[in-house]
Amino acid sequence: MESCGEVFEHVELKYCEGCGGLWLRPKGLEEVYCPECVPKMEEFAKPRRRPRVLVVAVNSLEELEGCIAELTGVTTEGGNA
């Protein structure tokens, strides 16, 4: 059978987080609102995401190494053959 020049696009069924309706979005996009809700939601401020940073206060290099070992579950003591 000869191709008629048809183009297929992969889509996924998505629940709109604005109105609750179902819509199809191109696969791989991160949009959470249907096309009707996008303009409505743009008037609201978007929350800023703060990067997650782990802060560990230590007094010495040995204490730092101990904290790292505790966080990663690695120890320098014997028994890990």
How far apart are alpha carbons 30 and 35 in whole angstroms?
13
CB-CB contact of 27 with 11 (8 Å): yes
pLDDT tens profile 28-42: 888 899 999 999 888
pLDDT tens profile 16-71: 999 999 999 999 888 899 999 999 888 887 767 777 776 767 788 888 888 788 87
pLDDT at 1: 47
CB-CB contact of 34 with 19 (8 Å): yes
